Amino acid sequence: MAASSGNPEVKLLGVRLSPFVIRAGIALNLKEVQYEFLEEKFGAKSELLLKSNPVYKKMPVLIHDGKSICESMIIVQYIDDVWAGSGTTLMPTDPYDKAMHRFWTAYFDDKFFNSLFSLIYIMSQTEEAKAEAKEQMRAVLQLLEEAFVKISKGKPFFGGDTIKYLDIALGSFLGWMRATEEIIDLKLLDDARIPLLCTWAENFCNNEAVQNASPETDKIVEFVKFLWSEYIPGLPPAK
């Protein structure tokens, strides 16, 4: 979307399939901010990216009025602060609730990211290693199920009645979870194990702001299979 007239220019730099880029896109949509998406080529770093994020040289980067903001959840917080009077408030106002959203986001980024991608990498290892990787992922999801009970307070989202900071952090990975399920034939969003998280995932994905920022699962599957064949030696052929 092009930046609207009368507003400072807003651009989002990244690869559409990246869950971290998806976070920023969802936040912008929820805040009803018009922006221009600048697509990066996977495996390459454009001059604009290197200039905009010279420290980490990673995506996403939000460019607002000529200034660069980096790191996905810092971008989400920035969007919420700058466009405070527009759309949905993304961060809880209660200090304790705010702390819990930040705590579980940090836990998720620390544990879930590595667990998810290790499921693919581990497919060339022993059956014992595969079983251990699957159990680690299930343990992470079970903890998130228990956290949802406490944080949501019986409402549809971690943020209560609306999607907020922690919902965005977790929900940006749902497409990658479904792609992983398809590729390695493992049920992650299991109604029998984590029914509340499964219902939350359905509610999250039905949101229009989420849908407009999220790629189709089959495109993620295709991309993961490409990574599988190109960058993970020793794995069996992708199905």
Cis peptide before 60 (omega within 30 of 0): yes
- Residue holding tokens 């599988």? 228
Backbone φ/ψ region at 185: left (φ over 0), alpha (ψ -120 to 50), beta: left
- CATH code at position 215: 1.20.1050.10
pLDDT score of 3 more than 70: no
Q: Do 51 and 106 have their domain in common?
A: no
**In the predicted model, what is the mean pLDDT of the chain?**
89
**229 DSSP β-pair partners:** none
pTM of the model as a whole: 0.91
Residue 103 domain flag = yes
Q: Please report the pLDDT score of residue 1 as a whole number.
A: 46
Q: Which residue has the higher pLDDT, 239 or 22?
A: 22
Average pLDDT of the segment spanning 186-190 = 89
Q: Do 133 and 214 have their domain in common?
A: yes
pLDDT tens digits for range 145-163: 999 999 999 999 999 999 9
Q: Please report the pLDDT score of residue 225 as a whole number.
A: 80
Q: Please report the pLDDT score of residue 123 as a whole number.
A: 63
Q: Do 177 and 224 have their domain in common?
A: yes
Number of Cβ within a 10 Å radius of residue 110: 11
pLDDT score of 213 more than 80: yes
Q: What percent of the chain has pLDDT over 90?
A: 72
Q: Please report the pLDDT score of residue 231 as a whole number.
A: 62
Q: Which residues contact 81 (CB under 8 A, 6 or more apart)?
A: none
CA dist 84 and 225 (Å) reads 40
DSSP secondary structure code for residue 157 in this structure = B
Range of the domain at 178: 95-231
Q: Do 99 and 72 have their domain in common?
A: no
Q: Which residue has the higher pLDDT, 115 or 18?
A: 18
